[in-house]
Each structure stands twice: as C-alpha cells, then as structure tokens.
C-alpha cells in the first residue's frame, strides 16, 4: 500500500488523535509505527488488521501499533 494512502486511512480511523507516524526507510520491509494515547475498540483493531497490523503493544500512555505496508489491503468499490 502506498504510504500516503495508509496515513490518510489512519487519520480517518483516528480523527481526534494526534498520533506519531514513524515509517522505516527499508523498501523491502516497509513498516510503520504509531502510538495512540488511549485504548482501542474492537472495531478499530479490526480495521487496523486490514491496514496491515503486525504488532500491538500496550504502552504507559495507550498502545503502540506496528503495520507492514505490504500486508495492507483495502477493498474499494
């Protein structure tokens, strides 16, 4: 998935959140990490899987989420 589209989808999913978007420089394994300062609902977690979620870890402020852009796929109609 294109990094700009991925970032836009995350901003639509978390409209009220000011998250940090960190993208790796590797083109072979394009990873993105974000930090959300609250707990996520089941619906949000499910949507994160379609955006390529590979890891989720609880942090002191909320959760850290890792995405792999090669695994991200959205169904557009």
Total structural domains within the chain: 1
Domain that holds residue 7: 3-68
Distances (CA, A) of 74 to 49, 56, 57, 62, 71: 10, 20, 23, 26, 10
User: Considering the domain boundaries, does residue 49 fall inside one?
Assistant: yes
User: Considering the domain boundaries, does residue 77 fall inside one?
Assistant: no
User: Considering the domain boundaries, does residue 61 fall inside one?
Assistant: yes
pLDDT at 58: 92
User: Considering the domain boundaries, does residue 43 fall inside one?
Assistant: yes
User: Considering the domain boundaries, does residue 45 fall inside one?
Assistant: yes
User: Considering the domain boundaries, does residue 58 fall inside one?
Assistant: yes
How high is the mean pLDDT in each 10-residue block of the chain (77 residues)? 88 87 79 90 92 92 91 72
User: Considering the domain boundaries, does residue 76 fall inside one?
Assistant: no
User: Considering the domain boundaries, does residue 75 fall inside one?
Assistant: no
């Amino acid at each position: 998935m294109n990094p700009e589209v991925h970032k836009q989808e995350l901003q639509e999913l978390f409209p009220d959140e000011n998250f940090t978007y960190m993208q790796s420089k590797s083109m072979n394994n394009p990873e993105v990490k974000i930090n959300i300062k609250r707990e996520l609902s089941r619906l949000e977690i499910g949507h994160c899987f379609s955006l390529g979620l590979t890891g989720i870890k609880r942090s002191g402020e909320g959760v850290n989420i890792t995405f792999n852009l090669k695994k991200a796929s959205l169904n557009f109609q």
